[in-house]
Structures are given as structure tokens and as C-alpha cells.
Amino acid sequence: MQFDPNDFQKMMQEAQKVQEQMKEIQENLVKMRVSDESGGGLVKATVSPKGVAELTIHPTLIEEGPKVIAELVIAAINGAMKKLEETSKKQIAQLTAGIKLPPELSGKIGGEGSDGSKEG
């Protein structure tokens, strides 16, 4: 098999395209914010990849006591984190559609470690 400079050039162009798309993915993920509610809207949590960005508790909920408030806060945060993860995966899938990535890179982008476990 002979070396074909045109094949190498195409491969380099594809690598550049992948690099640009990865940069776009990273920029989008850092800016992402997702919200969820619990208690019929009495608690609203907004999260980003860095953690909880905003938490709103309706004043009438204060009468219910700390245990109820804690349960609803946890539910809202967990719901928002789940939505953030799902949204991130969808955006990554859209941006990488049609790009053939090595399996070890695909696993990292999808949020899983090399052993299949979730990173975080």
C-alpha cells in the first residue's frame, strides 16, 4: 500500500474539523443552564455544569418545615441535574454526528469513563 498525500490531507482536514467542533461543544456546555421544579413549582433549581446557579423557594413553603423544604430542594436540584446531563448528551450527539471518533474518545465525550462508569 502506497502513501497517498491526498488521503493524509483529507485526514488532517477532518482532524481540524473535529477539533473545531470539540471547542464548540466545550463552549456550549460551560454556558449551559437548566432548571427544574418540585412541589408544584414551590421550589425551582437552576444548575450549570459548575453546580447550583440559582435556587428559589416560595415563601409559603417555609410553613411546611425544614424536612419538607429539604426534600423539595433535593428533588428540584436532582431533576435539574438530570435534565442538564440529558441536554448535554443531546448537544454532543448533534455536534459529533457523522464524525468517526475513536472509541476511547467517544466514551469520554459521552460522560463515561473508560470502564463505562460515570465520571463526575
Which pLDDT value is given to residue 120?
Answer: 38
> Looking at the predicted structure, is the pLDDT value of residue 113 above 50?
no
Cα–Cα separations (whole angstroms), residue 8 to 11, 31, 100, 102:
5, 35, 16, 17
Largest CA distance in the chain: 78
Of 73, 67, 83, 66, the closest CA to residue 45 belongs to 73
Q: Is 76 within 8 Å of 38 (Cβ atoms)?
A: yes
Which pLDDT value is given to residue 33?
Answer: 94
Q: What is the mean pLDDT of residues 10-30?
A: 83
Which pLDDT value is given to residue 1?
Answer: 56
Which pLDDT value is given to residue 20?
Answer: 85
Of the two residues 85 and 9, the one the predictor is more confident about is 85
Q: What is the pLDDT of residues 30-77, one digit of tens each?
A: 889 999 999 999 999 999 999 999 999 999 999 999 999 999 999 999
What is the CATH T-level fold of the domain 34-96, as seen in this structure? Ybab; Chain: A; (3.30.1310)
Q: What is the pLDDT of residues 76-104, one digit of tens each?
A: 999 999 999 998 888 778 776 766 666 66
Which helix H or strand E contains 17, and what residues bound it? helix 5-31
